[in-house]
Amino acid sequence: MSDITYVCTAEGWLYVSVVIDLFSRKVVGLRMGSTLETDLVTKALKQALYRRSIMSNGLMHHSDRGCQYTSREFREPALGHGITLSMSDKGHCYDNAVAESFFHTLKTEEGHLKRYRTREEAKIAIFEYVEVFYNRERLHFTLGYRSPKEFEERWEKEKIEQIYVLNV
């Protein structure tokens, strides 16, 4: 799932694009920039594919119908990786609820009442929040009160144990 939000700084808006793995709620793609161009979401997707280092055939990418996600510049690389694109219908904001919830959490826990002087200051704070706290430590109700990292590690361990049991 992917979406874009904006964060206010004294220099102007900082646009933040994320790709979230719905299985573990882990942010696997994160890009920030001073413009709201398609390159922002394309790079977030490419980062997600690189970080997961998985074959992308069979993956689904869900987003809203923003011009960045409907552009040829985004669609061609996504479809080229065998990714099925899924987009919300007009007026169905709940289809993107996980991404909207993430941005609410980010702004409430990291950015609430903060005034960033520069975009770079905001980038550093958001990166640290996502990579140090959110993905590794923040507990999620939907994950049985585990962090995305802990949830994935536990799932991987159980998968290996199942393979071992089947082979014995």
The CATH number linked to 16 is: 3.30.420.10
| Tokens (6 digits) for 88 | 């919300």
Angle at 39 between CA 38 and CA 40, to 5 degrees: 90
pLDDT at 53 > cutoff 90: no
Q: Give the whole-angstrom CA distance, residue 41 versus residue 11.
A: 22
Contact 103, 126 (CB under 8 A): no
Q: Which residues pair with 60 in a beta bridge?
A: 84
- Per DSSP, 140 falls in state B
Question: SS3 breakdown of the chain: % helix, strand, coil, rounded to 5?
Answer: 50, 20, 30
Say whether pTM exceeds 0.85: yes
Range of the domain at 53: 2-167
CB neighbours of 67 closer than 8 A, spacing ≥ 6?
38
What is the number of other CB atoms lying within 10 angstroms of the CB of residue 133?
A: 13
pLDDT value of residue 52: 85
* 3-state SS, residue 164: helix
Q: Decide which of 164 and 52 is more confident.
A: 52
Overall number of domains in the chain? 1
**In the chain, % of residues over pLDDT 90:** 72
Residues 114-133: tens digit of each pLDDT: 899 999 999 999 999 999 99
> How does the average pLDDT of the chain come out, rounded?
91
Contact 65, 32 (CB under 8 A): no
Q: Give the whole-angstrom CA distance, residue 27 versus residue 138.
A: 12
Closest CA to 39 of 58, 57, 15: 15
